[in-house]
Amino acid sequence: MYNFEFYNPTRIFFGKNKIEVIDKNIPATARVLITFGGGSAKRSGLIDKIRTILGDREVIEFGGIEPNPRYETLIKAVDVVRSEKIDYILAVGGGSVIDGTKFITLASNYNGDPSDLLKFGFRSISLDVVSKVVPFGTVLTLPATGSEMNDGAVISFEHGKFPVMCELAFPRFSVLDPTITFTLPKIQVANGIVDTFIHTVEQYITYPVDAKVQDRLAEGLLQTLIEIGETTVAEPENYDARANLVWSATMALNGIVGVGVPQDWTTHMIGHELTALFGIDHGQTLAIVYPALLEVRRDKKRTKLLQYADRVWHISGGSEDEKIELAILKTRSFFESLGIKTHLSDYGVTADKIDLIVEQLGEHGLTALSETGDLTLDISRAILVKAF
Ligand code: NZQ
Ligand code: ZN
């Protein structure tokens, strides 16, 4: 196991009706900005309920944060935070609203051009660059990204999606009430399962470093998703299935699975380009790229793939190559069983667009991906060809 440091200050409130806790966790005198998306939280009555819980506090709303939140939208909220002297933000939504809120709070306290904050990539923005933020909490409405308990955000700007990380961007608290997610369309639930699955495997199917706890945590998450996946898509109000999805999603990307182990974020990096170019949902892009990536990288990932075949899918018969083949097939079938298509061509993308995708990866400096940095643009191209 590699050396590591672990820090996560987000307080979690999990369960039915936990939303009441926001009263005690936001100062009584705070001027609160509620950030939200395209309207689902309004239509469900969630925002009204939150306003009631906030009581006499001064509350301002900023809605319209779109999926794959755009810089131009978020900058408008930065103006509101500054002009209205906001001292607490409450993000009500999925990954896009929470990520957008992280960017809003960082940019509100940055003195230069806020687009500078998009240039750090996976390097954490230091306290010399942004030294304080407006504190924020979240009410999660979509289990998928883990943004409710991590310090990362992904922001859309011009023709790309840019990761932003900063330890000041951890939510102070997050409310995880599975019943709030009952109104999700089936496709978003399926996207969330795939996103959680891929976050887990990108920190697990690399090469072994004898990290037994992290491996078994990852295997537990994957087995949970396989066990509850179809049920929670088919039965949106099955509380137990949904509760297990919500906690899996948070656990998959709050840092715990990934400590002290190699990580391979290739699928996310290629997936971000597919969203930026063609508007394909984040979860769907991952279901397109990952099975193809495993096909192309099966030798590099051989030992962990065999462990995955054995411990996650319980494949015992056949040669090693056959076990790996079957594990890849089962992975693809799992995504398809949730209603998510796994080929680029299923989304109307034509083969001639592969050049453009590779070009964009190059433009964004994504030329040495994977757990060892050996994944060149030519290998990305091979993955995209397989994914077609
Ligand atoms: O905007 P509204 O009207 O609220 O509708 C949303 C949106 O259209 C809807 N929705 C959310 N909760 C709902 C609901 N509809 C009905 N009932 C509810 N309870 O769902 C749609 C998608 O929402 P979005 O927030 O975009 O989805 P998700 O949570 O999957 O977030 C995706 C974003 O997160 C980024 C992705 O790149 C993408 O931009 N990621 C963030 C990460 C992080 N911060 O660590 C890691 C991830 O890998 C990911 O990259
Ligand atoms: Zn993701």
CA atoms within 13 A on the CB side of 82: 13
- Quick one: tokens of 369? 């991906």
pLDDT reported for residue 45: 97
Query: Which tens digits make up the pLDDT trace of 6-42?
Result: 999 999 999 999 999 999 999 999 999 999 999 999 9
- Among protein residues, the one with the nearest Cα to ligand 1's atom 47 is 145
pLDDT reported for residue 26: 98
Are 98 and 138 spatial neighbours (Cβ–Cβ below 8 Å)? Answer: yes
Task: Report the nearest atom of ligand 1 relative to the CA of 97.
Answer: 25
pLDDT reported for residue 360: 97
pLDDT reported for residue 149: 98
pLDDT reported for residue 185: 98
Return residue ranges of the chain for CATH 1.20.1090.10: 184-387
Dihedral, CA atoms, 270, 93, 237, 288, nearest 10 degrees?
-10
Return residue ranges of the chain for CATH 3.40.50.1970: 11-180
Out of 3.40.50.1970, 3.40.30.10, 3.40.50.2300, 1.10.357.10, the CATH code matching 11-180 is 3.40.50.1970
- Quick one: tokens of 62? 């900023």
Are 111 and 117 spatial neighbours (Cβ–Cβ below 8 Å)? Answer: no
Tell me the pLDDT of the chain (388 aa) as tens digits: 999 999 999 999 999 999 999 999 999 999 999 999 999 999 999 999 999 999 999 999 999 999 999 999 999 999 999 999 999 999 999 999 999 999 999 999 999 999 999 999 999 999 999 999 999 999 999 999 999 999 999 999 998 999 999 999 999 999 999 999 999 999 999 999 999 999 999 999 999 999 999 999 999 999 999 999 999 999 999 999 999 999 999 999 999 999 999 999 999 999 999 999 999 999 999 999 999 999 999 999 999 999 999 999 999 999 999 999 999 999 999 999 999 999 999 999 999 999 999 999 999 999 999 999 999 999 999 999 999 9
What is the rounded radius of gyration, in angstroms, for the C-alpha atoms of the chain? 20
**Cβ 248 under 6 angstroms from ligand 1:** no
Strands (E), 253-333: none
pLDDT reported for residue 128: 94
Are 252 and 204 spatial neighbours (Cβ–Cβ below 8 Å)? Answer: no
Fold of the domain spanning 184-387:
Dehydroquinate synthase-like, alpha domain (1.20.1090)
Q: How far is the CA of 67 from the centre of ligand 1 (A)?
A: 6
pLDDT reported for residue 182: 98
Q: What's the rounded Cα separation, in Å, for the pair 331 and 161?
A: 26
Of the candidates 153, 178, 183, 155, the one whose C-alpha atom is nearest the C-alpha of residue 168 is 153
| pTM of the shown model | 0.98
Task: For CA atoms 71, 76, 80, 83, give the dihedral sign.
Answer: positive
Which amino acid would we find at residue 44?
S
Provide the angle, in degrees to the nearest 10, between the axes of the packed helices 186-202 and 266-278. Answer: 150
Q: How far is the CA of 95 from the centre of ligand 1 (A)?
A: 4
**Cβ 267 under 6 angstroms from ligand 1:** no
Task: Report the nearest atom of ligand 1 relative to the CA of 39.
Answer: 3
Q: How far is the CA of 90 from the centre of ligand 1 (A)?
A: 16
pLDDT reported for residue 41: 98
Q: Please, which residues bridge with residue 161 across strands?
A: 156
Q: What's the rounded Cα separation, in Å, for the pair 6 and 245?
A: 24
